Structure 1
Amino acid sequence: MAPDYKHVRVRDYLRGLVAHELVVGDTIPSERELCERFAVSRMTVRQAIDALVNEGLLHREQGRGTFVAPPRTDMELRLVGFGDDMRRRGMSPHTELLDAETVEAPWDVAEALELEPGAAVHHVQRLGWADGRPMALEEAWVPATIFPHLLDGAPDAFPESLYATFRDHGHDPNWGEDTVSASDASAHEAELLRLGRGARTVLRIARRTFADQVACAFSRSCYRADRYTLWVPLTAPNPVVTPRTQGAATSTVDASPTGAARTIQEVRR
């Protein structure tokens, strides 16, 4: 039996409406209108709409209807804070401090920060806003031995940018490691990020931030998947050069456990 692609026609029609006729916040035609226009069942129409909701092109509001969603923001992984990243995109950011306290590092946090289990760390939870909308929820741990006074001004005068604070104290973040995954938001995360029932997927990024060989922060963030797409620039690998003469220089990639990938020039004598 051949597969039924009727929902694809409905989906592509709606995609065209969003691209050429509708604007953000407009409602799409009703399910009844779409059923009549394409002579298909309501189940087929819902399948098409579900696909576009999952893509982030549309969003549903319970009891109100389905609307054209705001465009997604490309998320290029950079070693910058939330505020700087949003400003680079022409958006107005605001960071809301949810919690800040000094605690004993759990074993996984201690391992990430290369500390002894139970070492003192500053634990910070923040909600990132851009243009008046919640965009990201961040949980970060910072070694108390390196930044003992980080929480002195909390909550009233907590710094907007942790990276700027690190630089001010002589630890300039210059490399890091990210691990990216996707999953459904918890009920608490969905409430803070104001996620509707049909848009509960979030992008999760676990990051270790280093200043040279010092681990200065470990963070776990979740971003609204309906507002972000992950963009990763790729380049072709460098060719492997094998020296043929005495005194030639070779280039290799350091893949040491520190994770700092850098080019090393070695001169053969």
Structure 2
Amino acid sequence: MEPDVDDLGAGELKHVWVRRKIQELVAASSLRPGDALIGERQLEEEFGVSRITVRRAIADLVQDGALVRVKGKGTFVSHGMVRSTLHLASFNEDMRAAGFEPSTRVITATTTAPPREAAHHLGLPPHAEAHLVARLRLANGAPVSVDESWLPPSLLPGLLDHDLTGSLYRVLAASGYPVERVEQTVEAAAAPERIARLLDVEPGAPVLLFHRRSFSGRNEPGTPIEYSISTYRSDRYQISMHLGPH
């Protein structure tokens, strides 16, 4: 049975009404992040609407970051989406500004051969090695990104002796090389199996891929100090921008 007109807000569309009802259902059921939402057929019966209306409402909530779909498993309550403006800040600063508690798990901290792009940015001679710091970044205990940072051992000989579960930028600043300027590109990508396992998503799931070139020193071009590749879950991280005339 379709909802009565009196049940709908002024000018409210049915899928918007269902979206609101699903949010109320989640709250009333005390569902926690990671808990499964009831099936689409049950939602049809619960609200007396068509499958198309239910699916559109769920799609809106997925887009908003309130729900997340896992292929072959169902729809779940999201851990929340971090919305970040494009600015120079550490992961920890970004998460706290968005209202999340950040944490970090070190995956790898070693010295090894860097990829070509990292070696080029850092100005390393052929066959030279670089520090690799790979970390899983979490917000409220849920995985958000995998960060792989390449840094020059000649400038940072004691880097790997530091506690790397906090802000890497603070470690760099304490070592005399604060990050003053970055060049960054962002692209859509599919999660490779290794990264997917860490982010707790299916291999091939959509992710945001950040390539960042960091410099120390206020005068351009500055000292290349870090090359990083960060892979973010696209259902838990969103970029916002403020643009104006120029």
Write the mapping of 1:114-129 to structure 2, written as runs, cut at 5 A. 114-129=123-138
Write the mapping of 1:249-264 to structure 2, written as runs, cut at 5 A. none
How many residue pairs are counted as aligned between the two chains? Answer: 223
- For structure 2, the residue ranges without an aligned partner over 5 or more in a row are 1-12
Deviation at 1:103, TM superposition (A): 1.4
Match of 2:67 in 1: 58
Match for 1:38 among 24, 45, 49?
49
* Residues 1:89 and 2:95 are matched in the alignment: no
Match of 1:14 in 2: 18
Q: CA RMSD in A?
A: 3.0
Q: Take 2:67 and 2:114, find their aligned partners in 1: how far apart are those partners?
A: 41
Deviation at 1:45, TM superposition (A): 5.0
Match of 2:197 in 1: 191
- For structure 1, the residue ranges without an aligned partner over 5 or more in a row are 1-8, 238-269
TM-score by length of 2: 0.76
Higher deviation after alignment, 184-193 or 130-139: 184-193
Deviation at 1:108, TM superposition (A): 1.6
Q: Take 1:35 and 1:165, find their aligned partners in 2: how far apart are those partners?
A: 53
* Residues 1:176 and 2:182 are matched in the alignment: yes
Match of 1:201 in 2: 206
Q: Take 2:72 and 2:154, find their aligned partners in 1: how far apart are those partners?
A: 52
The residue type paired with residue 223 of structure 1 is Y
The residue type paired with residue 139 of structure 1 is E
Residue pair 2:103, 2:165 contacting (<8 A) in 1 also: no
Deviation at 1:215, TM superposition (A): 0.6
Q: Take 2:183 and 2:92, find their aligned partners in 1: how far apart are those partners?
A: 20
Residue pair 1:137, 1:193 contacting (<8 A) in 2 also: yes
Deviation at 1:190, TM superposition (A): 1.9
Match of 1:75 in 2: 84
Residue pair 1:105, 1:117 contacting (<8 A) in 2 also: no
Deviation at 1:18, TM superposition (A): 4.5
Q: Greater Rg, structure 1 or structure 2?
A: 1
Question: SS at the partner of 1:158?
Answer: coil
Q: Take 2:77 and 2:207, find their aligned partners in 1: how far apart are those partners?
A: 19
Q: Take 2:244 and 2:194, find their aligned partners in 1: how far apart are those partners?
A: 39
Deviation at 1:19, TM superposition (A): 5.4
Q: Deviations 1:104-147 (Å, cap 9, x if unpaired)?
A: 33322111223333222101110011211111110000011110
Q: Take 2:160 and 2:127, find their aligned partners in 1: how far apart are those partners?
A: 19
TM-score by length of 1: 0.71
Question: SS at the partner of 2:197?
Answer: helix
Higher deviation after alignment, 169-178 or 73-82: 73-82
Change (3 A) 1:162 1:65: closer
Match for 2:173 among 167, 177, 180?
167
Higher deviation after alignment, 131-140 or 61-70: 61-70
Change (3 A) 1:62 1:82: same
The structure in which a higher percent of residues are helix is 2
Deviation at 1:219, TM superposition (A): 0.3
